[in-house]
């Protein structure tokens, strides 16, 4: 009898953790769907709606800001398999959760772009400037595949370096402006490389428009470049730059803050 009650109590103890994991994965799915729906809506361009690389880049930056502000406290709002890979390398997430994040991101991106196609007229999705479909990442005709993958590698490396800087234990107290930082970073990188490769930096962001529109030309670039960039950048930052905050440093910082407060009240 006691063994049965112990087993039942163990199940009840595990339940909150399981529910929390489900909540985290579901939040990541919604956040990625928001990224695709709002981000790609801001890229629509046809004879009725004017657009530019500047507007699209700024829009995606603001959308990332919104997603992180809404769901960052729930799931971290990775929105991107490359970010999840870096998070795993940084030992901040387990392998099963990393896989769950990946699935949530791919499904969320698929749903978000599908919702966009459902609510927008066909003339908004396909136009003279977006013949393959709005938000489909494509390589500029003057670039080779190798050049495209190097660009995606480099801009994703920059994005992941920002992530690693935010995750650095020494930066733990400076988290208030994280959504703004990432939003501006995405806008900057999109402005820089958007005209050349679409500045994807995100396999899920490229996969959803590709599968909905059947546009697979040079699609491999948007997997190889971002994932390789995330792998290299996170490993370099982890082993070359990351430092753990020592207990003594934390104590000295606390004492310094306390002394400052005492002087202010004196």
Domain boundaries, the chain: 16-44+51-242
Task: Decide if 179 contacts 186 (C-beta within 8 A).
Answer: no
Residues whose CB falls within 8 Å of the CB of residue 140, separated by 6 or more in sequence, listed in order = 148, 195, 196, 197
Structure confidence by residue, pLDDT tens digits, 175-194: 778 999 999 999 999 999 99
Instruction: Answer yes or no: is pLDDT of 3 > 60.
Output: no
Taking residues 10-21, what's their average pLDDT? 69
DSSP 219-235: TTHHHHHHHHHHHHHHH
Residue 259 has a pLDDT of: 57
Local structure of 10: helix, strand or coil:
helix
Residue 246 has a pLDDT of: 73
- The structure tokens listed for 72 are 């960052």
Which of 46, 50, 85 lies closest to 234 in space, CA to CA?
85
Which of 134, 139, 140, 154 lies closest to 82 in space, CA to CA?
154
Cβ-in-10-Å burial (0-12, 13-18, 19+) of 113 comes to buried
How far is the C-alpha of 163 from the C-alpha of 68, rounded, in Å?
13
Mean pLDDT, the chain, rounded, equals 88
**CATH 3.40.50.10260 is held by the domain 16-44+51-242:** no
């Amino acid at each position: 009898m006691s063994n049965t009650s112990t087993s039942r109590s163990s199940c009840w103890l595990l339940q909150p953790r399981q529910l929390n994991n489900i909540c985290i994965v579901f939040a990541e799915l919604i956040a990625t769907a928001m990224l695709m729906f709002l981000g790609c809506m801001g890229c629509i361009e046809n004879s009725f709606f004017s657009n530019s690389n500047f507007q699209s880049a700024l829009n995606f930056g603001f959308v990332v800001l919104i997603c992180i502000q809404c769901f960052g406290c729930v799931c971290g709002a990775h929105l991107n398999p490359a970010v999840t890979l870096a998070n795993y390398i940084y030992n901040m997430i387990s392998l099963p959760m990393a896989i769950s994040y990946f699935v949530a991101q791919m499904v969320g991106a698929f749903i978000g772009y599908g919702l966009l196609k459902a609510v927008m007229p066909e003339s908004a999705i396909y136009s003279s400037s977006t013949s393959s479909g709005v938000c489909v990442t494509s390589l500029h005709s003057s670039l080779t595949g190798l050049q495209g993958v190097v660009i995606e590698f480099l801009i994703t490396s920059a994005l992941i370096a920002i992530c690693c800087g935010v995750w650095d234990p020494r930066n733990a107290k400076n988290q208030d402006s994280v959504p703004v930082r990432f939003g501006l970073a995405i806008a900057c990188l999109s402005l820089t490389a958007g005209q050349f490769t679409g500045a994807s930096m995100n396999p899920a962001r490229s996969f959803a428009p590709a599968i909905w529109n059947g546009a697979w030309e040079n699609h491999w670039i948007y997997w190889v470049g971002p994932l390789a960039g995330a792998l290299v950048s996170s490993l370099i930052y982890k082993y070359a730059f990351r430092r753990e905050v020592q207990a003594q440093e934390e104590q000295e910082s606390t004492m310094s803050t306390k002394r400052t407060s005492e002087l202010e009240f004196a």
